[in-house]
Structure 1
Amino acid sequence: MEIIQSLLKEMEQEAQTTRKMLSIIPEDKFNWQPHPKSMSVIRLATHIGELPSWVGMVLNTKELDFATAPYDPKVINSVSELLAYFEENLAQAKAELEKAKLSQLDEQWVLRNGEDIYSSSTKAEFIRVSYSQIVHHRAQLGVFLRLLDIPIPGSYGPSADEQFEVLEKA
C-alpha cells in the first residue's frame, strides 16, 4: 500500500478512537487536573483536538521552532466545540495528505526550540510522530478520566469498563 494511503487509513482509524474519548469528557471537569504539573482536562483535550493540524504544518513547512512560534491554544467551552475543532483539524489534515506528493514525504523536517533540536526526520516520519502524540495524549486523558471514575471506551479492543459491562449482562 502506498505510504500516503497507509497514513490516511491510520489517521481515520485513530480518529474513531479519539472521537469516542473526546465525546465522554464531562464539561464540569474541564478544569480538573490530577497534579499541578499536569495539564487540565480541557487543555489536554484541546491539544489532542489540534494535533491533526500538525500533518498540514509538517507537509507545508521545513520546521517548527518553539522559540519563534508563540503557542496560543484555542479556547474551548464545550464538548461539542471540542469535537468540531477536532473534526475541522482532521478534515484539513486529510485534505493536505491527499494532495501531498510522495517526494514531499522524504523531505527533512525539524522540531526545535531555538538551538535545541528535538527531532530531525523525514516529513513522513514526523507525521507518524504526530499520530503517536495523539495516541500518547489520548492515553493520558484516559488516565485522567479513570481517576474521575468515568468509564473508558476501548481503543484497540474492549476496555476494562466494557469487559465488566459484558460480564454484568451475562
Structure 2
Amino acid sequence: MDTLSQFKDEFETEYQTTRKFLESYPEGKNDYAPHEKSMKLMPLATHISEIFGWPNTILKTSEVDFANGDFQPKDLSTKEDLLQTLDDNFNSAQESLKNAKEEDLNEYWALKNNGHEVAKWTKYGSIRHSLNQITHHRAQLGVYYRLNDIALPGSYGPTADQQSF
C-alpha cells in the first residue's frame, strides 16, 4: 500500500473543502463564539489552517512540546491571512509527504506539555489524527457559520444552502 500518496490525496481533498470554508470567512466576526467555553471564530479558523502544516512537523520531528515553545499559534486577523496560512501549510505538507518514505510512518511522534506526554502515536497515526482534526474543527466552523447565517459550502456532499442533485 502506498500510504504516503493516499495521505497526499486525502490532504488535497480536505484542503479544497477547507479552502471553500475559509473563502466564506466573515469579516468583522473574529471574536464571535457561540458559548463562553467555545473558541472564538478567528482562533478556530486559524487552528484549522495550521493543522494542514502538521504532516511537515510530524515527519521532521519526534515530538512537539507546547511549553517549550515548539509551537506557537499564529495571531491572524483577516480572511487573506487565513487563506495564505492554509496555502503555505498545505504546500509544506504535500512536499514533506512527497519526500517521505513509507518506513518513516512507523516511527513514533509525541505531543508533550512541559515534558509530560499528552499523546503518542506512530507518525502514521499522528498524520491520521491531523486529518481527523481538520474534519472535526471544520464541522465546528460550520456550526459557527450556520449560527451567523453564513451559507455553508459542501464538505462531502451538498448542504441545505446548495441545490441538491
Rounded to whole Å, the distance in 1 between the matches of 2:161 and 2:100 is 40
Rounded to whole Å, the distance in 2 between the matches of 1:134 and 1:15 is 9
Instruction: State the match for 2:40 in structure 1.
Output: 40
TM-score normalised per structure 1: 0.90
Rounded to whole Å, the distance in 1 between the matches of 2:72 and 2:8 is 27
What letter matches 1:40 in structure 2?
K
What letter matches 1:2 in structure 2?
D
The CA deviation at 1:67 is 2.7
The CA deviation at 1:68 is 2.1
Rounded to whole Å, the distance in 1 between the matches of 2:38 and 2:116 is 23
**Larger deviation: 128-137 or 107-116?**
107-116
**Structure 1, unaligned runs of 5 or more:** none
Instruction: State the match for 1:53 in structure 2.
Output: 53
The CA deviation at 1:115 is 5.3
Q: How does 1:80-159 map to 2 (within 5 A)?
A: 80-114=80-114, 116-159=116-159
Instruction: State the match for 2:15 in structure 1.
Output: 15
Alignment RMSD (CA, Å): 1.6
Rounded to whole Å, the distance in 2 between the matches of 1:17 and 1:79 is 16
Rounded to whole Å, the distance in 2 between the matches of 1:9 and 1:70 is 28
* Higher radius of gyration, 1 or 2: 1
Rounded to whole Å, the distance in 2 between the matches of 1:66 and 1:77 is 22
The CA deviation at 1:100 is 0.5
Rounded to whole Å, the distance in 2 between the matches of 1:57 and 1:70 is 10
Rounded to whole Å, the distance in 1 between the matches of 2:26 and 2:114 is 38
The CA deviation at 1:15 is 0.6
The CA deviation at 1:85 is 1.0
**Structure 2, unaligned runs of 5 or more:** none
Instruction: State the match for 2:5 in structure 1.
Output: 5
Runs of 4+ in 1 over 3 A off after TM superposition: none
Rounded to whole Å, the distance in 2 between the matches of 1:27 and 1:74 is 18
